[in-house]
Amino acid sequence: MIEAASLDERISKSEKILKDDSSSRVFAPLADALRMKGKLDHAFRICRRGLRTHPDYGNGHLVMAKINFDRKMYDWAEQEIDEAVRLDGQTRASEQLRVEILISRGELDQARKLLGNLRAIGSNPLYVQGLDDRIKRLLSSRERRETERIPGGTSAVEASESTVRRRTYSIAETLTEITANEEVAFAVCAYRDGVVVEQCGRGNFNADEIAALGVEMWRAAESEEMIDNFGEPHRISADTDETTVMILGLAGYRLVLLCDRKANLGSLRLKLDEVSAHLNVAS
């Protein structure tokens, strides 16, 4: 465990280097130290800014993966791991983080398989054993819940999973639910790089162009100056003569809506909050 004083010293030195040379790769260890101090938003901004200058720096992407893991944004963390592996190849650190993600998601069988790979590539035996012990405890807890029956012969786990199924929507179902509102003409869900995932709605719209527009609007709202002055964006909108464009930020996705200019935005925002809260972004 790194001492707090040591982290503070690392942060101080790294910040000085970055101030003198804004293009330095020291952004990665700085962001990682901020992450370990629990300053996740600050770490995210530093790392994102550095990756804009050094998009092919694998270690920078790995640090961003750690930051997003700590923010519980597991899909985004996994995307950053994939990019780090593409640039620098598979490492112990990348595979260890994959296992941590799988455990956090409850994908314990897959986590156990990857754990075998960690042993094979010579990861720290005590660390690997700690992960294995966590998986065993979680599996044991799952087995106990499966044996606990509730009235009607359904296990507690089955009932819980049934509830989750009722309360989660796929991306396609989410767009269908949103565009059922007549005030929403078209909805597009895209990855944060603008690649369209799903689209739904009425009218002759170009989903790729709408996604690109929404992503660029979101990037502008995520600029360093905007965040420093107003904080992280969660939802943004812009009015034209006939249409209101609304963009919602999800974990690794951007949801872009084209709405009637006269739409009741208050009611629509409530609906969006309701639907997006039950969105299964891993679908």
Q: How far apart are the first and last CA of the chain?
A: 36
For the chain, give the mean pLDDT. 82
| pLDDT for residue 114 is more than 60 | yes
| pLDDT for residue 171 is more than 80 | no
| pLDDT for residue 283 is more than 70 | no
Q: What are residue 187's DSSP bridge partners?
A: 200, 257
**Spatial distance between the Cα atoms of 60 and 51, rounded to a whole number of angstroms:** 7
Q: Backbone phi, then psi, for 204, in 5-degree steps?
A: -95, 80
| pLDDT for residue 21 is more than 90 | yes
Confidence label for 165 from pLDDT (cuts 50, 70 and 90): very low
pLDDT in tens, 198-243: 888 887 889 888 988 888 888 888 776 777 677 777 788 888 887 8
pLDDT in tens, 73-101: 888 899 999 999 999 998 889 999 999 99
Q: What are residue 236's DSSP bridge partners?
A: 247
pTM for the model stands at: 0.55
Supply the pLDDT for residue 279: 62
Supply the pLDDT for residue 163: 45
| Residue 217 Cα distances to 87, 115, 247, angstroms | 28, 41, 8
Provide the total of helices (H) and of strands (E) in the chain, helices listed first.
13, 7
Confidence label for 6 from pLDDT (cuts 50, 70 and 90): confident
Average pLDDT over residues 94-114: 89
Domain architecture of the chain: domains with CATH:
4-144 (1.25.40.10), 171-276 (3.30.450.30)
Cβ count within 10 A of residue 137: 10
Cα-based angle 77, 188, 280 (whole degrees, multiple of 5): 45
Q: Which sign, positive or negative, has the C-alpha torsion 263, 269, 271, 275?
A: positive
